[in-house]
Structure 1
Amino acid sequence: MDLLRATAQEMSELCGISRAEAVARVNWHWEGLDLSGEDEIILHEDEYYWALRIYFADVLDWRPTADRSDWTPRPGPPAGSRCWTL
């Protein structure tokens, strides 16, 4: 799905993480869900929203210019989990 790829790219750029970690986080967030329908709820938000929502425990400010330096990232998927596909 294009939105998932775009979310991983956005997360990598916004949060300064590798593409592999961003893909793993996206995979982990939606693991086990069927997202193949064209009317999926995730399509109501863009990659910017999902990148921040998946990476940070709390999104304190949605502005692109927000200072995120003291925000707390969510723990990532465990090393060796099947979410790591790159």
Structure 2
Amino acid sequence: MDITATRGIGRTGLRTTLASFGGASIGNLYKAVTDEEAHAVLSMAWDAGIRTFDTAPRYGHGLSERRLGDFLRDKPRDSYVLSTKV
């Protein structure tokens, strides 16, 4: 499977990579990780071609969202899809 291949989401015009990055782990859900470790794993995912990221406010009481935001801040906004939950 080519994880960098994309699929459309209905008629939205959005395209997501077949594999996505789940942000629970960078929100310390399973074990505590540093900001540096979170950035390193996000960099690895990005370098592997992952462009779809999923997070939630419950992942570390917003920590996952903050870390994803910090990482994606300098990336072109049309180069990734970010989803979160309410």
The TM-score, its normalising length taken from structure 1, stands at: 0.28
| TM-score, normalised via structure 2 length | 0.28
Please state which structure has a larger fraction of its residues in helix: 1
